[in-house]
Amino acid sequence: MGNPVDVLDRYYLSITLLVTVAYQLSGFAIAWTFQFDKITDFTGGSNFFLLALLTLLLGQDFSARNIIASVFLMVWAIRIAGFLLFRVLKTGKDDRFDDIRSHFFKFFGFWVGQILWVWVVSLPVTVLNSPAVTHRGQPAFGTASDILGIIIWVIGWVTESVADAQKFRYKQSPNSPKDRPIDVGLWAWSRHPPYFGEILCWWGIWTLSVAPSLHGGGDSGARSAQLGALVSPLFTMILLLFGSGVPTAEKPTAQRYYRMSYPTPGTSSEAEGDTRRPANAAWANYQVYRAQTSILVPMPPALYRALPGWLKKTVLLDLPMYEWTPGQENLKAESGTTV
């Protein structure tokens, strides 16, 4: 182990923030100037790789724990950045940015959010590799926290990788039915398996990285910083459960299958009970899939169907905010035109 390099502060918080801001703003300048999406997600994913490698080299602690935690982050970053770049190159553009790509402040706001996401979620590895932790010594690798963190990360990474690959192949296959949600592989057990896997990845990295503080290493400041890095998996969960993850997928998906079955808009009273003859079975197929498939935690459909509704809406996080009822849009339109 060499001597760690102190840069701005002993936790590497300032240098990683400055690098992230510079990297993301460079990406924004290119994306805004040329009005394309091909580097947007790649810039986010590759930024994680850059921070992990930078802090590992600056910290000069090449013990097993630091290397594994840094490599885990870099492997996750390579996969997510590479997959999203491949996907956008295949499709030509990212529909998520259609409404904001040409609006400077809206598009800039997305990139500011990406700065916050990268910097906050990288904190466990940033702090682990910093002089505040490496200077004070660490317990030997192999603690319960080390092993548990590795197991959690591996399960999460495999889940996220397999689920993304399954969905991509399904959508690319001309034989995949268009009138039903994907229900093959992990998607038969969870409506959002990549999100479940990503959440596990960051809980695994934090559990592995916090081992020095859980086993007497470092001073009180270092312990507080490592425990404070818990914000990483918590931020990931909040983002995916209440921000740009599940909420942006659930209602639009329900609306899409409903409109496939009922392409002609009805009145709010018709939609609530909808006695019209459906054009196809898309809406019925979606309702069956939703009723038997866990929103996040993978489990057999037969088991999920048998669980009480209160358990699904609390412990299993199938929250009411994700539900979409036919007629909601019509009701809003009617109320909006009432004098």
- Rounded distance between C-alpha atoms, residue 132 and residue 209, angstroms: 13
- Rounded distance between C-alpha atoms, residue 177 and residue 282, angstroms: 10
pLDDT given for residue 104 in this prediction: 79
Per the listing, tokens 């412990």 go with 315
Grade residue 338 by pLDDT with cuts at 50, 70 and 90. very low
pLDDT tens digit sequence for 225-279 = 889 999 999 999 999 999 888 998 898 899 999 998 888 765 544 455 566 788 8
pLDDT at 149 over 90: yes
pLDDT tens digit sequence for 27-62 = 888 888 877 777 777 888 899 999 999 999 998 888
Higher pLDDT, 23 or 60: 23
| Residue of 217, 205, 215, 188 whose CA lies nearest to 293 | 188
Grade residue 335 by pLDDT with cuts at 50, 70 and 90. very low
Mean per-residue pLDDT over the chain, rounded: 86
Judged by DSSP in three states, 142 sits in: coil
- Rounded distance between C-alpha atoms, residue 186 and residue 189, angstroms: 5
pLDDT tens digit sequence for 287-301 = 999 999 999 999 999
Decide if 138 contacts 212 (C-beta within 8 A). yes
Grade residue 223 by pLDDT with cuts at 50, 70 and 90. confident
pLDDT at 196 over 90: yes
pTM, two decimal places: 0.87
In the chain, the percentage of residues whose pLDDT exceeds 70 is 88
- Rounded distance between C-alpha atoms, residue 169 and residue 86, angstroms: 13
Judged by DSSP in three states, 299 sits in: coil
pLDDT tens digit sequence for 177-187 = 888 999 999 99
For the stretch 98-135, what's the b/e string if a residue is b when 16 or more beta carbons lie within 10 angstroms of its beta carbon? eeebeeeeebeebbeebbebbbbbbbbbbbbbbbbbbb
Residue 294 phi/psi, 5° resolution? -60, 145
